[in-house]
Amino acid sequence: MAETSEVVIIGGGLVGLSIAYHLAERGVRRVVVLEREAMWARGSSARSAGGVRLEFSHPSSIQFSQYGLAMFQNFEDLFGISASFNPCGYLFITREPQRWDAMKELASMQRTLGVPVETLAPDELHARYSYIHMPDVVGATFCGQDGVADPGAVAYGWMRRAQALGVEIRLNARVTEIAQSGGRVIGVVTQDGAVIHAPVVINAAGPQARFVGALAGLDLPVFPYRRSVYVTDAFSGLPSEIPMTLEFENTSYIRREGRSILMGMSDPLEPSSDNVDTDQASLEKLVGTVLSWVPALEQASIMRGWAGLYEVSPDDTAIIGEAESLSGFFYAVGFSGHGFMHSPAAGRVVAELVTGAAPFVDLAPFALERFRYQTTHETFVI
């Protein structure tokens, strides 16, 4: 027998759970989250490095981060479980003069929005962070409000609160059809043939967002790319506290993970795929790159690693809104590696859109329609 719901959310990752919580908090009670796996938040959300930072190229992205940061800082008071936010700061380093000019310009814009970003000349950088060996560095930015939080705890906190407010989270429920009539969405069908009628359906399917969009006849340009992360054994050869430290040109980064060091890198030569295996070649590339600027890590041993999927849009910025061609079909997708830090605000703005409230942030930079005339690109991306 067909069921009826007010809202169906496709995807039980951080973004879907945040939307569910924010909707329920606004009084929308009949919300069902459909997750194809046997467990919620097992996709990209389970593989995140947990980074949270305020430095972005668009004011709207910065406001997204500010909302998320405040929520993570107060997560225990709000949800009864700590998000383990560690304000270790973010340090972005560049060797390219042109990029450095752009970073300084963006730092001015970021400061006007209250982001306490510092610009560091090479001698200041090396004096403050002596573990960095980069003779050709041209500059760096540091923001001490940024840090790292625990995505698993955040997902759990939202899931528990959403359920307490009446949201149903249904597992093993892959959506295979999105039903529509007269230009409106009217519900979904799952793999076991269950039909759920609903006037609002939300695509929060992470790296699978394009496939789910296609079920509604919509082309959402979101492509999965593998990203690998490795963790060393307990390592005392670096200071016990270091910022999330990222070098732009090779897109590699390191941070503390307890007494260990966590490191990652994006490989621009790797094509889009669903591959989430780690392999020796990517490990060797990462280690070689990181050792070139943090030579002390030569003494560390890799203990474990994992890979997951970034869900990448053409300009590395999320795509959020309601389909022009299908009323009632919303999407919050394409977070391009920022989906943990932006999931709180994504949940809030989608809940605002669905309930007819004005979004707290200008959503123009996230509009799907921007790709018709796109000219800008997020520059703070690793």
Ligand X SMILES: Cc1cc2nc3c(=O)[nH]c(=O)nc-3n(C[C@H](O)[C@H](O)[C@H](O)COP(=O)(O)OP(=O)(O)OC[C@H]3O[C@@H](n4cnc5c(N)ncnc54)[C@H](O)[C@@H]3O)c2cc1C
Binding residues vs ligand X (CB under 6 A): 10-16, 34-37, 41-45, 47-51, 174-175, 204-208, 212, 227, 229, 308-311, 335, 337-341
Q: How far apart are the first and last CA of the chain?
A: 47
**Closer of 122 and 275 to ligand X (Cβ):** 275
Give the rounded distance of the alpha carbon of 164 from its chain centre.
25
Contact 367, 321 (CB under 8 A): yes
Contact 380, 248 (CB under 8 A): no
What are the CA-CA distances from residue 331 to residues 6, 58, 110, 316, 336 (Å)?
16, 20, 27, 16, 14
**Closest separation between CB of residue 40 and ligand X, Å?**
7
What's the CA angle centered on 31, arms 30 and 34, to 5 degrees? 140
CA distance 196 to 187: 5
Q: Which helix (H) or strand (E) covers residue 305, if one does? A: strand 302-312
**Closest separation between CB of residue 101 and ligand X, Å?**
26
Contact 151, 75 (CB under 8 A): no
**Closer of 161 and 338 to ligand X (Cβ):** 338
**Closest separation between CB of residue 30 and ligand X, Å?**
18
**Closest separation between CB of residue 196 and ligand X, Å?**
12
Strand partners, 178: 188
**Closest separation between CB of residue 327 and ligand X, Å?**
21
Residue nearest to ligand X (CB): 339
Contact 317, 334 (CB under 8 A): yes
**Closer of 100 and 147 to ligand X (Cβ):** 147
**Closer of 159 and 300 to ligand X (Cβ):** 159
**Closest separation between CB of residue 204 and ligand X, Å?**
6
**Closest separation between CB of residue 98 and ligand X, Å?**
26
Helix (H, G, I), strand (E, B) or coil at 83: coil
**Closer of 248 and 310 to ligand X (Cβ):** 310
Question: 117-120 and 139-143 as β-strands: parallel, antiparallel, unpaired?
Answer: antiparallel
**Closer of 121 and 303 to ligand X (Cβ):** 303
Q: Roughly what angle, to the nearest 10 degrees, separates helices 339-354 and 151-164?
A: 20
Question: 3-4 and 195-197 as β-strands: parallel, antiparallel, unpaired?
Answer: parallel
Nearest Cα to 340, choosing from 17, 78, 7, 79? 17
**Closest separation between CB of residue 140 and ligand X, Å?**
19
**Closer of 138 and 209 to ligand X (Cβ):** 209
* Cβ-based neighbours of 108, under 8 Å, separated by 6 or more: none
**Closer of 95 and 338 to ligand X (Cβ):** 338
**Closer of 15 and 185 to ligand X (Cβ):** 15
